[in-house]
Structures are given as structure tokens and as C-alpha cells.
Amino acid sequence: MCGIIARVGNGDSVDTLLTGLENLEYRGYDSAGVAVQNGHGIKIHKQSGRVEDLATDLRERQPKGNVGIGHTRWSTHGPPTDENAHPHSTSTTNVAVVHNGVIENYDTLREELQAKGREFTSDTDTEVIPHLMEEYLEETGDSETAFRKAVEELEGSYAVAALVDDEDVVYAARQGSPLVLGQDEEAGEYFLASDVPAFLEYTDEVAFLEDGDVVIARPDDLTVTDLEGNVVEREIERVDWDPEETGKGRYDHFMLKEIDTQPTALSNTIDGRIDPVEGTVDLEDFPDGIFEDVREVQLVACGTSYHAALYGAQSLKQAGVRAEVHRANEYELSSGPIDEQTLVIAVTQSGETADTLGALRRAQDKGASTVTVTNVVGSTAAREADEALFIRAGPEIGVAATKTFSSQAVALSLLAHRLTEDVPDADTRDDVTEYLSALHELPDGISEILDRHKAEELSRKYRDSDAYFFIGRGMANSVAKEGALKFKEITYEHAEGFASGELKHGPLALVTQDTPVFAIFTGDEEQDKKTRKNAEEAQARGAPLVAVAPEGHEAASIADEHLVVPDTHPVWAGLLANVQLQLVSYYAADQLSRPIDKPRNLAKSVTVE
Ligand code: M6R
């Protein structure tokens, strides 16, 4: 967790660092800080609270420095206090360090350093790094060697950047946590950051660094080496993300912007991959026959990605392919036998979720073939899996995943389609033309909802409820779960998602006239009949019923409210229903004045287990 940024160049770094931190704040927002080097020592400014508080403070103090590092924190070791904020240093302020990751052997290192008389002022694992560096600096007199030696002592995961007093240099290294390099060679300017949006306003030339890489960046000069000091080449790529995509534009919140841009995101997901007229799916990197040895599919994911995995897995199950969805953090215990005929699909927006990477690595150790379905090119999952299918949703900044759920569910459904073409005895769809045509029109269906929804009014009506329940069957069950996750995540209200039929096995005890039930109908008659019965059982106990259902659906006639799902194939109806639920969550949270893009205690990318 946490976001780090470093910048070296010929002008002042402070504004660039602050912009970078604002763009990285989705990774953690407990505290923030920067350190700059300006020829008169290292100046550190850090405090608990948001980046905007830090920015206000810095505007008054106006520190300057052409070389600097910055950090925005999601607490793992110690509460969000000024002392625990990064950058960390020593009593001499000879060295300053920012870090994302977890140093697993920090206890031992700290004890050893304390035995040498070193004093610690924070609860963080990170603080061992500046002390180690200073120890080695005193021993060797060479800061690059000191940095390497300090890094060699670390066990666990890190993306780390360091300044040394009186040197126009940033030292950086990565092991298990993301670190991206940005360069504007003409300006002699280099950036290091946890993610591309941090510096996208300044350059689109990036290199995705690898584990074991050490970077020595000076104005006009950059070297990347391995830990032993051998120079390594890292390919510079141009990212085609528009810097505007990383800003809020006319929106109050990234979440609403990201809900609203779903038609474009989804069009990008399917662009060039489906031909509704021919009835074909063409996924680059997945040629005919690639899956012919697969006998079982296991999908691993967390949070919203888990719900997208549940959605996608339904298509595989319906086609008779053995498919199971596992919470990545339980995979070690839940996976059952894995062998070379198992295909493991790691679903992760960020490609950096530690739980999901853990499951992916476990699958690889057991000999499974692996695919990741991810949004982030160059992410750890994209690099470690055998193959990657990119969802192409564009950057998602709001902590609540919205557009990426839709794009993941669609990408997974297309992957499922490709699998059923290869896996022996799988049933391929007999309605493929209708299925793909409806998918082709799905972005328009979303636009229709965005143009004429009544989410604001509806969320006001149910604003004082005790709890909110979401129910659905099959694909609609995964949408019910996702609807509830979104609702609780940003409103802080109690919300639960269930399989429709499960309500009567316990949760019904919670149902009262103050617990609205959102029931999701897809237009699949057989399934909808059962959901309707379960919805009526809740209604009989006084619950207000909100039917999220196609226009003219019979459930609308019994419901207190109807959120309309535009006409589509039942396979895609759940995704349209989900957009309605995203909007309800958003407006409910807005009416409660919640910090929608940065819900308490959470962060966008969870890089700790
Ligand atoms: O980057 P990932 O898709 O691996 O992230 C997984 C979850 O942490 C994420 O979906 C989380 O549940 C979202 N904040 C939900 O909105």
C-alpha cells in the first residue's frame, strides 16, 4: 500500500511531487510528506492527514529543491501520526527515505540497530532503512554502496526511494512492490513512482521496473542496475493514457466520472475483439487451441474483482466447463488439487493486489497455467502470469471499483467464450450472434441508464433505513454481492448481498420495514420467477422492494420502486443492473457527505496480505 514518488531534474521539484501525490492519493491517505534536496541539506515536511493539508502547509513554507521524494500513506505499522508519516530519516537528516511495502524482518533489524545506539522515533517498519543506509554510509563513505547494502538486508516487499545529503541523486529499488520510471530526456527529468498517473502530466515515456532493479537518477543522467550493480536495460514504452483521464474534470468525484465513462471503457474492452455479424470472438494472445489441455478453471480474486470473477465463471459453468471461483486470500486453503491441466485466472484491476499475486504464484508453483485479467499494463500480475488479457478500462482512481467491474466481467465472459471453443466437451453457445450483438450494444444500454436514472431520488427516499439488502440468482447474485459491497464501502451503512434463495435461511430475520431489498432480475424467466418469490417473502415482512429489472418486467408491478434495465440478453442484464446500483450507492453516499473517493480505512491497491 502507499504511494511513492521521486523527481530529479533541473527546476524545482515541490509542485511536481505534490501533483504526483495527489494523483497517487488513491493508494493511501492517512498521512503525506515530501523531502527535498537543495544544496543546503535535506528538508522534510510530513504530517498526518490528506495531501491537500500538506500542500497548504508547503505553500506557506515554500521549500525548494530540484531533487525530491514524496509519500502518501496507508498505515500498516503504527497509526497515522506525524511521526509515522514518510519520509523517514535519522537524527542527522543525512538520509531520507520513502517506502511502499512491508519489511518483514524489521523487528530484527531494529533491535540490531538499537543495540548500536540508534534511536527510533516512529512505529514504522520503514525507519530501519535510513538507519541502515547511514550505518553503511559511515562504514563505506559511498552512498550508492550504502543504499545497495541497506536494500540487500531487507526481507519482504519494497519500492523505496532515498535522498542523501548534498547529493543531487535519487536512489531507488524495487522488490515485490510496484515502481515505474518516467523520463523526459530532453528536459533531463526523471520520475519514479508507484503508478504512472503520478507523473503522466509531465511525460508518457515509462519503463516498468522489475524486482531486483536499482535506479540511480540524477538530473540528465539515469542508470538502472541489478542488485550487484550490473547495468540492465529496461524498455521505455509510451503509455496511451490521456492525462485528462487522471483528473476529475467537471465531476465532484472520480467515482461519478468513472461510472459515467463506462460506455467508453466498455467499448474499449470489446473493440476489435468481437464480430457480432460473424459471431466470432478474437482475443489477441489467445490463438486457437491454446486452451485445449485445460480440464479445470480456477479464478482467484478479491473484492469487486472476485464478484467479476463470479460473473465470468457462470458462462464457463453453463458451458459445462469445470470452474471454481476462489477468494485469493483463502486460495491456499480452498484450491484443492492443482495440476498442469488447471488454468488459473487471476482477476485484478491493479495487478498489484498481494492476496491475488500470492494465489497466482501458488498456482504457478503447482504447475498450473495462468492468465491474468487486469487493467494495468506492466503490473506485477501482467508480468508474472503466462498470459494477460487487458480490460482496457483506462485509469480508475476512485477507491470504489466501478467501470473496471463492468470491463472485467465482459473480458472474462469473452475469455470464457474462447475457452469453451478449445476445452474438449464444452458446449459452445447456440445463440452466439444474439449474445455478441447484445454485447455490442451494451455501452448504449449503459448510456441510456446514465441519461435517465432516478438514483438520487431513490437514495433520498431510503436514506434513513437500518440496512440494505441486495438479492439475485446466478449472474445477478454476483451483482447483488457487488451492489452491497459498493454500498457499504462508500456509505458506511450496513449492506449485504445474497443469493435470492438464501435470504430465507437466516438473513430474513433482519428484514423489517426499514430494510429495503434490491432484487435483481435479468429477464431469464425461470430464474426471475424464483427471485420474485424470494423478494415477495421479504415484502411480506414489510421490506420495501426495489426491482432492478427490464422495462415492463412483471416484478415491477409488485415493487415499490423500479430501476429500469434496458432491453438486452439475460447474460448482460446484470451488468446494466449493476450500473443502476452504482448510482444508488454514489448518491446515497453523497447525501451522507461521505468522502466518496477515499472511504475511511481503505485504499485502492492493497499490496499487503
Ligand atoms: O486491484 P484489484 O482488483 O485486485 O483489487 C481488489 C479489491 O481490493 C478491490 O476490488 C476492492 O474490493 C474495491 N475497493 C471495491 O470497490
Q: How far is the CA of 353 from the centre of ligand 1 (A)?
A: 8
Per-residue pLDDT at 591: 97
pLDDT digits (tens, 9 = 90+) for 161-185: 999 999 999 999 999 889 999 999 9
**Closest protein CA for atom 11 of ligand 1:** 303
pLDDT digits (tens, 9 = 90+) for 187-238: 999 999 999 989 999 999 999 999 999 999 999 899 999 999 999 999 999 9
Instruction: Identify how many contiguous H helices and E strands the chain contains and give both numbers.
Output: 18, 26
Q: Which of 187-196, 244-253, 319-328, 406-415 has the lowest mean pLDDT?
A: 244-253
Distance CA 424, CA 57 (A): 64
Distance CA 135, CA 139 (A): 6
Q: Is 257 a catalytic residue?
A: no
- The CATH code that applies to domain 3-245 is 3.60.20.10
Residue 39 has pLDDT above 80, yes or no: no
| Domain 453-609: CATH class, spelled out | alpha beta
The pLDDT confidence band at residue 64, using thresholds 50, 70 and 90, is confident
CA 436, 437, 443, 447 torsion-angle sign: negative
pLDDT digits (tens, 9 = 90+) for 410-444: 999 999 999 999 999 899 888 999 999 999 999 99
Residue 454 has pLDDT above 90, yes or no: yes
Per-residue pLDDT at 242: 73
Per-residue pLDDT at 40: 83
Give ligand 1 pocket residues (Cβ under 6 A): 302-305, 348-350, 353, 356, 399-401, 485, 489, 605-606
CB distance 311 to 409 below 8 Å: yes
Vertex 325, ends 322 and 326: CA angle to 5°?
130
Per-residue pLDDT at 22: 92
Residues of the chain with CATH 3.40.50.10490: 247-446, 453-609
Catalytic residue, candidates 46, 403, 481, 604: 604
Residue 445 has pLDDT above 90, yes or no: yes
- Which atom of ligand 1 is found nearest the CA of 304? 10
Give the single-character DSSP code of 402. Answer: -
Cell match 461519478: residue? 256
Cell match 486470500: residue? 329
Catalytic residue, candidates 2, 43, 257, 481: 2
Per-residue pLDDT at 336: 86
The pLDDT confidence band at residue 246, using thresholds 50, 70 and 90, is confident
Q: Is 604 a catalytic residue?
A: yes
Vertex 481, ends 476 and 486: CA angle to 5°?
120
Average pLDDT, integer, range 451-473: 97
Q: What is the mean pLDDT of the chain?
A: 94
Name the residue type at position 27. Answer: R
- What CA–CA distances, in Å, run from 427 to 280, 291, 314, 371, 437? 15, 14, 13, 22, 20
Average pLDDT, integer, range 274-279: 94
pLDDT more than 90, % of the chain: 87
The pLDDT confidence band at residue 13, using thresholds 50, 70 and 90, is very high
The pLDDT confidence band at residue 15, using thresholds 50, 70 and 90, is very high
pLDDT digits (tens, 9 = 90+) for 487-540: 999 999 999 999 999 999 999 999 999 999 999 999 999 999 999 999 999 999
Q: How far is the CA of 480 from the centre of ligand 1 (A)?
A: 16
CB distance 270 to 419 below 8 Å: no
Q: How far is the CA of 513 from the centre of ligand 1 (A)?
A: 32
pLDDT digits (tens, 9 = 90+) for 124-149: 999 999 999 999 999 999 999 999 99
- Which residues, in sequence order, are CB contacts of 406 under 8 Å at separation 6+? 262, 265, 266, 269, 393, 446, 575, 578, 579
Residue 239 has pLDDT above 90, yes or no: no
Per-residue pLDDT at 606: 85
Cell match 450507492: residue? 585
CB-hemisphere CA count at 13 Å for 484?
A: 24
Distance CA 546, CA 518 (A): 5
- What CA–CA distances, in Å, run from 182 to 132, 164, 179, 202, 374? 28, 21, 10, 9, 21
Per-residue pLDDT at 77: 82
- Which atom of ligand 1 is found nearest the CA of 349? 3
How many whole angstroms from its chain centre is CA 589?
20
Average pLDDT, integer, range 305-325: 96
Per-residue pLDDT at 84: 94
- Of the candidates 127, 9, 113, 37, the residue with the CA atom closest to the CA atom of residue 73: 127
Residues of the chain with CATH 3.60.20.10: 3-245
Residue 27 has pLDDT above 90, yes or no: no
The pLDDT confidence band at residue 105, using thresholds 50, 70 and 90, is very high
Tell which one of 26, 302, 487, 609 to mutate to probe ligand 1, the residue whose CB is within 8 A of the most ligand atoms.
302
pLDDT digits (tens, 9 = 90+) for 544-564: 999 999 999 999 999 999 999
**203 or 246, greater pLDDT:** 203
Average pLDDT, integer, range 446-462: 97
Tell which one of 177, 258, 350, 597 to mutate to probe ligand 1, the residue whose CB is within 8 A of the most ligand atoms.
350
pLDDT digits (tens, 9 = 90+) for 68-102: 999 999 888 888 899 999 999 999 999 999 999 99
Name the residue type at position 406. Answer: S
Q: How far is the CA of 399 from the centre of ligand 1 (A)?
A: 8
Cell match 496480505: residue? 609
DSSP assignment of 494-556? -EEEEEGGGGGGTGGGG--TTS-EEEE--S-HHHHHHHHHHHHHHHHTT--EEEEEETT-HHH
CB distance 157 to 176 below 8 Å: yes
Per-residue pLDDT at 460: 97
**284 or 405, greater pLDDT:** 405
The pLDDT confidence band at residue 38, using thresholds 50, 70 and 90, is confident
| Domain 247-446: CATH class, spelled out | alpha beta
Q: How far is the CA of 606 from the centre of ligand 1 (A)?
A: 8
Per-residue pLDDT at 245: 72
